[in-house]
Structure 1
Amino acid sequence: MEGLPTLDCSMCVFALLGCIAIVAAWLAGRASVRHKPSSSSRTADGQARFEISDPTSPIGHLGAAFTSMAAKLNLGDMEREDIMRALREGEERLQTAQDVAGLGVWDWDHQAGKIAWSPQMFSIMDLDPGAPDLFRAWLNAIHEQDRERMEKELGQLLRTLEPRTSEYRVVRPDGSIRWLLMRGQSLPDGAGKPLRTVIVNLDMTASKESEARERVLLGLSDKIRDLARPSEILMTVAETLGRHLGVSRLGYGEINHATMILSTLADWHADEMPDATGQHPLAPFGPDLCADLRAGRTVIFEDALRDQRAKDHVATYEALQCIASISVPLVKEKELRAALYVHSAARRQWTPGEIELCRDVAERTWAAVERARSDARQRLLINELNHRVKNTLATVQSIAAQSFKAENPGVAQEAFEARLFALSKTHDVLTRENWEGANLHDIVEEALAPYRREQTERFAIGGARLQVPPRVALPLAMALHELSTNAAKYGAFSTDSGRVDVHWDVTETADGEKVTLRWREQGGPTVHPPTRKGFGSWLIERGLTRELAGEVLLDYQPSGLSCTISFPLPKVQWSGGEDVVVSEAAHI
């Protein structure tokens, strides 16, 4: 037992053997004249054994007693070794069980005024075993919201023999929080007063984080269920998760895979932190971060100031007060699309539960935003379809009324059918794009396709790859059909040498983008201004002006008709890095 002197059994045996040998020698000397000499030997296990020629002699009796005593002493030594081995194995099993279960043990000896902690307790608290005052170190590490309560709990435990159980949080030196379940009981002395107190602390952080994760996810689902706008969803997610984790910043942004530029869509931050909305290149954060995000790996920093991955980019992390961080990428179809980022202004050891929560929230946020965008697109398409159906019926009614004014019924029917066919071809283009818009090049191509010849190129098309919304595509397609029909009857397409050039460009104005399309005929017969304007001219000039809020200029030059159409492009934006214009309807 600790503190008590221990005797080495082998030393005792040798000392006793010496004494017996002296006595035996004295007795042997006295009996040597009357008895045959005796002999001694050792057994295979080293045990001393005396062989006495005359067992009835005094020395024979002494030898027998010595042999019996030696055997008992040897048996006691073996038993002691078995007991010590069992104790060592039991201690190892106990330490392993405490490690696996996350148990930290106190032993408070009130009489000696000393506190002893198990190694697991130091590990749970992340404290130095050489701390001079363990009670003060424990009390200072308790979360400020639990400290007063736990100090009272411990005081009650020391004054009673009843067991007590409490949950509390401790804040480790790295800022991470651990949840502990304390179970303690005092043991009595002979008078029934507390002699010592044994306290067991169970680390239940993992289970607590699992419960908290489920609460956060369920709470988020309830909050965003009725939200329709992606911006509202993202800000709700960022604020809820940011406050739960107690971080300085949490946000969500979309990423251009080629340029690695993050466009912030939501940025929640603590009051003292600056706003960080806008576009941010990720290259200044280091190549390791960019490579991991592109590969779909979550990037975790516990201390960027000491992390080798950020050693040449520390200034960037310091400027953003991003010392610890979690970045969860969202990779779809092998391209990095977005990321959820978490920033802490101080060094922090993230728990597995916190990392898993961020991953879950990122995936659910992506799904919620995509669902909201899909719903918005669907609503837009339904409204657009309703509007288009009404306008199409009105257009067909107008086409019929104007076409059948002709004196020749056959000509009127041919013109009416041709115009309906042009309208249906434009609908085909829009259907291919799910009624989200149509490519201007495809609209022009459809209008001029009937006049293509295998041997001779009759027309040229040029301009930016421009996507226009349905309310622009339909009237523009009808106007192009009227221009191409007029060219076939009276203009460039009426001769073998004639050709048509169609070109457009997009310019920036104070009110947004403006499209200018030019139709120019050449090589046809000499052109004369018409004495009267028919339905085709009316459809081009008045129809486009009314439908597109644009301007139309028809110039009847002798060398060929020239038509310039200018109109604002409704709510468009240039897509990342390409010569394409995309309507807002395609990216709600």
Structure 2
Amino acid sequence: MRTKTIELSFADAYPGLGSYVWRPADGRLDWSPGLARIYGRGVAPSTEAEFMSCLHPDDRLRVEGETESFLTGSASTYSHSFRILRPDGEVRWLVDRAWIERDAQGRVKAIHGVNIDVTESRHLDRVMPYGDEHDVELRAGQSPRNYSDWAHLEIGARTGGIALATIDYRAGTFVLSAAAARLFGLGDAEMTVSREAIHATFHPDDRGRVESETRAAINPSSGGRLSTEHRILRPDGSVRWVRVQKRIDFESRDGQRHPDRGILAAVDISEQKRAETELQESEERLALAQEVAAIGVWDLNLNENSAVWTDKLYDLLQIERGTPPSVDLFYQYVHPEDIGALRQALQTSIDQRLEFHAEFRIVRPDGKVRYFLGRGRVVEEVEGHPVRMIGVNYDITERKEQAAHTEFLLEEVNHRAKNMISLIGVIAKRTAESGIEGFTERFSMRLSALAANQDLLVSAEWKTVDLEDLVRAQLAHFKDLLDRRILIEGPALSLSPAAAERFGMALNELATNAAKYGALSRSEGVVQITWRIETDGEAPCLVVVWQEAGGPSVNSPTRKGFGSLVSGSILEAALNGKVEANYAEDGLRWTMRCLLDHIANG
């Protein structure tokens, strides 16, 4: 992309001046015609690498280090000098002065600069940027190359807060600036230290990686560059994070290229790393909370009608992650009956700056319906107009189902309470018909049977009752006989609440009679309770058998009391089944048959 002519050529009207625009992010470089003339080139370089090839070989390393220090710091301007080598072999001295354009995050967007040719000393008093701090005197015929390289590097350090060092690979030494000595915890002044002293500061957990990267960088085929981040362990035990940039120059010796000199720029990024760690931990906590609570987050750009979704929102909708999100896409999954109200609630929230709060249904791709709760608010306005809204969606399906089930249970309890009162009244009336004597005992036992049924129903949330659990509950007062003289056998089967109530009372009556008159009245008596599923035509049928043995001889009763009715005709009517009682001499055999779908759940 070319910049406007006026931006690049404003300085061309002045002799020895030229302008440029450099965009480091993509490496693009645009020169004005005047700058190309200064460098003696018909075609201007278009990349940073091509520009570096225009510099005097002795200045390239320094300029690159200075530029790196300017860009990685927070400076808004910079200024330095260097030599260029024209294609015809002529050497010229230039001063480079620039303004750094940064984005809101401080990243460099573009550099707008001017080069000034100061080869002729009469220009120096107008253009040299350093002032009294760097006492430089250039007289006629004298080269303006009177700075030390280190002075230039220190300018970069002061500008960008960079710790600098030069490296002599033959000697195996680092010359540290005062800032670098402080960063590595080695002192407060400029110093020369060995390569081993620097490597000793590498954190043990990072040392292997950094030394491997360093070996790769000093290989001539690598291009002589190193960019890395690692921890250093200071002599006082403190740990700091540093970002390191290194450039290495090579020399030819013995027919091979060897590392000769290098420049290192390091920045303390400990606070940045701490902030990144805290942010990452915060994001992990937020993501965990969203996952556990089934929360999806959305962010709407109201101007562009665009959206950003978290992964959890995709998962809640069962949409493939990465699908371009939008408000319209979300509405595609909202239940048709809820779209109108949801749109109205969202628009009202935006128009009136109210808290958005709405319950609605969504239909997943597999056809399943889920209940969502949406909440959000406008968080950004421009000149009184809302431009951004953020919010969350919760999956509240289980909560809605629990609420519906609770309502059902309340209705069921109310219904059953009425039935229970009626049933207790019938039990009391029929028990009294057998005479006042023993009324309390008989009535209490029948209420206990009823209570046992209720306990099972409550524990099962009034849904189903396991048949074996029901049998054992009704015979709990014979627990010392269970599985010894009272044998229970049958397949797993769940009864409906109504069937459990009636069948449980019948079992209680059979157990009571067995204890008073039948097999359980003698120590050798045995009761066997079995059930099975048979096919009666095409419909499955439940068959339950109560078989007594080892008790006294039994005779068919001459009259039927309430207990007989409970285990006989009342049970038949309630279960739409058939009951038979065979009073054989060796013991009672009681059999109940009914269609399975009249009594069973599941």
TM-based fold match above 0.5: no
The structure in which a higher percent of residues are helix is: 1
Please give the range of the TM-score, normalised by the shorter of the 2 chains.
Answer: 0.3 to 0.5
Larger RCO, structure (CA 8 Å, separation 6 or more): 1
* TM-score for both structures, normalised by structure 2: 0.40
